[in-house]
Amino acid sequence: MFDLLYLGFGEIFRFDILLIIFVGVIFGVIAGLIPGFTVAMAIVLTLPLTFGMDPVTGIAAMIGVFVGGMSGGLISAALLGIPGTPSSVATTFDAYPMAKNGKPGKALSIGIWASFLSSIISLFILVTIAPQISQLALKFGPWEMFALICLALTIIASVTGESILKGLIAGLFGLLISTIGADPIMGFARFTFDLNVLRAGIPFLVVLIGMFAISRLMTSLERTERQKSFEEKQKENATEVSFVLKPIQTLKTVLRKPGTLVGSSVIGSIIGAIPGAGGSIANIIAYDQAKKWSKDPKKFGTGCEEGVVASEAGNNSTVGGDLIPTVALGIPGSAVTAVLLSALMVHGITPGPLLIVDEPGIVGGIFVAFFIASFGMLITQFIGMRYFVKVTQVPTHLLVPIILVLCVIGAFVLNNRVTDLYILFAMGVIGYLFTKFKFALAPVIIGVILGPIVEVNLRRALMTNPDWTLFLTRPISVTFLVLTVISILFTVWQTRRSNQRLKA
């Protein structure tokens, strides 16, 4: 574990990389606080810019954006009561009342410290756990990998979106998209329907840009959405806040609540590690748990310190958790880590259980970049807060065209193919329809990235031994498959129960 960190420090401690991480953090914070501009979008748009860098630098830049973005939502949540990203919904419950009670500086400072400290705690969890898991996963044969990915996909399907049925459909749709193009073992072109566009397959990143950026922008153009954002703007203009940040004093306040801080960070890390579940869920669950365990739950929602600590610690610690399966198994838990993995692939590095053994420098670099980015976030938030507040006022009519052009450039630069732009357009439309009818997008994305891996493992398993019952007789494989079935049944049962409760 320490040699990984040692290697990582060696990789990251170069002036240019440190600078790039800082720039990434600033970009992330800005992305996080503009309503309608999500962290996933920011990461997707950063990727093309990192193509010219070496892998460690590129990854470090993206981790900077990730960490910054998770904390960026705090600003608009605290000052305006509007979550800048879905991950800061619970932050508005206590940080906003606190700011309204005349302590906006305190709310922001507590939030920043909670974000920072929880990131460090989740980093600690990441560094201790990830190598163990990958050690274990090294013993996996294709049977176990196949079963594991099945489990991951069903979990994603059950935690995101409206119903597990739609989640599974979305995941299968993603798998199906991934089968277009060359078959991963023999190289036959599949499902090209004689269209040249499809011969090379559908590039993962183009799907990602289309689904996460273009479809989100289209949603923001709907009439009801525009009315909502117009009302928010009015609110923003009405509140001219002046505040004083008190870093040292509030650090003491946060440290006086070690239970809330550590508890929420652990919850955030665990939720982050579950595929599909991320900051938006952790933010609310951590807040809820802090309220349950508190001696005085009534003060939650009135602007209490624990509430701010719990919600911000909850969402920022998902970063570390999210990286656990990504680094240890090559299974991304969210769109953001999916981009990280594809960035590795662009540089010719194959993610998977072997990553820690084969590329210890990269893994150590990821850990240390996360550490540095947390510090970067702390410093930029405390120094730059005054300027960040002004950025929330970027109007939609400027944001949409700029980001659309960035999407088109990003999709083009990836392979230098104009035909990819048509795929981008199609994916944007499909993604928009999916969101419109409440199919979650995360399962599609994870399906696309895991599709080739699951297919290769399935076929390799049957090539090694044509006996398919091996999936059910190998102990680890059967455990994963049983868990897969249980996770589906459990979710179905849960929805039934809550539906009945609604009726009663």
Partner 1 sequence: MSLYYPFHKEATTLGEIIMGLLLILLSLLIYTHSDDLPSMNESQLDAGSFPQIIAILLGILSLLLVLTKTIKLIKERQAQDESPKSIKKALIDLYQEHKLVLLILSVLFIYIVLVQVIGFIISSIAFMIVTALIIGPKTKKDIILISSIAVILTVGLYMFFQEILKVRFPTGLFF
Smallest distance, partner 1 to C-beta of residue 13, A: 24
Smallest distance, partner 1 to C-beta of residue 52, A: 4
Residue 453 sits in the site that holds partner 1 (CB under 8 A): no
Nearest-angstrom CA–CA distance, 74 and 72: 5
Place of tokens 């150590």: 364
Residue 391 sits in the site that holds partner 1 (CB under 8 A): no
Contact 280, 40 (CB under 8 A): no
Nearest Cα to Cα of residue 221 among 403, 425, 424:
403
> Binder to partner 1 among 23, 245, 262, 400 (CB under 8 A)?
400
Residue 223 sits in the site that holds partner 1 (CB under 8 A): yes
Nearest-angstrom CA–CA distance, 74 and 28: 12
Find the part of the chain contacting partner 1 (CB under 8 A) among 88-96, 118-126, 317-325, 426-434. 426-434
Smallest distance, partner 1 to C-beta of residue 292, A: 33
Residue 218 sits in the site that holds partner 1 (CB under 8 A): yes
Q: Which is nearer to partner 1, 166 or 474 (CB)?
A: 166
Smallest distance, partner 1 to C-beta of residue 437, A: 5
Q: Which is nearer to partner 1, 131 or 452 (CB)?
A: 452
> Binder to partner 1 among 169, 208, 284, 355 (CB under 8 A)?
169
Q: Where are the alpha helices (DSSP H) in 347-418?
A: 355-358, 360-391, 396-415
Nearest-angstrom CA–CA distance, 206 and 44: 9
> Binder to partner 1 among 198, 262, 349, 404 (CB under 8 A)?
404
Residue 502 sits in the site that holds partner 1 (CB under 8 A): no
> Binder to partner 1 among 166, 216, 257, 291 (CB under 8 A)?
166
Backbone angles phi, psi at 37, to 5 degrees: -115, 110
Residue 462 sits in the site that holds partner 1 (CB under 8 A): yes
Residue 445 sits in the site that holds partner 1 (CB under 8 A): no
Backbone angles phi, psi at 182, to 5 degrees: -65, 135
Smallest distance, partner 1 to C-beta of residue 224, A: 6
> Binder to partner 1 among 116, 439, 471, 480 (CB under 8 A)?
439
Find the farthest-apart pair of alpha carbons in the chain and give their distance in angstroms, rounded: 70
Find the part of the chain contacting partner 1 (CB under 8 A) among 165-173, 317-325, 339-347, 481-489. 165-173
Q: By CB under 8 A, how many residues form the interface with partner 1?
A: 61
Residue 398 sits in the site that holds partner 1 (CB under 8 A): yes
Measured CA to CA in angstroms, residue 188 lies from 146, 192, 200, 348, 429 at distances of 22, 10, 11, 22, 28
Nearest-angstrom CA–CA distance, 336 and 278: 10
Find the part of the chain contacting partner 1 (CB under 8 A) among 217-225, 305-313, 330-338, 357-365. 217-225
Buried b or exposed e, range 482-501, using 16+ CB within 10 angstroms: ebbeebbeebeeeeeeeeee
Residue 409 sits in the site that holds partner 1 (CB under 8 A): yes
Q: Give the list of residues 6+ apart from residue 375 with CB closer than 8 angstroms, or none.
A: 116
> Binder to partner 1 among 199, 226, 252, 497 (CB under 8 A)?
226
Nearest-angstrom CA–CA distance, 409 and 403: 10
Residue 490 sits in the site that holds partner 1 (CB under 8 A): no
> Binder to partner 1 among 23, 136, 165, 349 (CB under 8 A)?
165
Q: Give the list of residues 6+ apart from residue 218 with CB closer than 8 angstroms, or none.
A: 428, 432
Q: Which is nearer to partner 1, 304 or 458 (CB)?
A: 458
- Burial of residue 288 (number of CB atoms within 10 Å: 0-12, 13-18, 19+): middle
Q: What is the token pair recorded at 285?
A: 């669950």
Place of tokens 């990286």: 323
Nearest-angstrom CA–CA distance, 295 and 291: 8
> Binder to partner 1 among 241, 349, 408, 476 (CB under 8 A)?
408
Residue 138 sits in the site that holds partner 1 (CB under 8 A): no
Residue 437 sits in the site that holds partner 1 (CB under 8 A): yes
Residue 9 sits in the site that holds partner 1 (CB under 8 A): no
Find the part of the chain contacting partner 1 (CB under 8 A) among 219-227, 283-291, 475-483, 489-497. 219-227
Please provide the DSSP assignment of 214-237 as one string: IHHHHHHTSHHHHHHHHHHHHHHH
Residue 143 sits in the site that holds partner 1 (CB under 8 A): no
Measured CA to CA in angstroms, residue 367 lies from 9, 15, 136, 372 at distances of 9, 17, 20, 9
Buried b or exposed e, range 47-56, using 16+ CB within 10 angstroms: bbbbeebebb
Nearest-angstrom CA–CA distance, 446 and 424: 17
Q: Which is nearer to partner 1, 198 or 251 (CB)?
A: 198
Nearest-angstrom CA–CA distance, 128 and 107: 32
Residues of this chain that interact with partner 1 (CB under 8 A) are: 48-49, 51-52, 165-166, 168-169, 172-173, 175-176, 179, 183, 185-186, 188, 190-191, 193, 214, 218, 221-224, 226, 395-398, 400-402, 404-406, 408-409, 412-413, 416, 418, 421-422, 424-425, 428-429, 432-433, 436-439, 455, 458-459, 462-463, 466
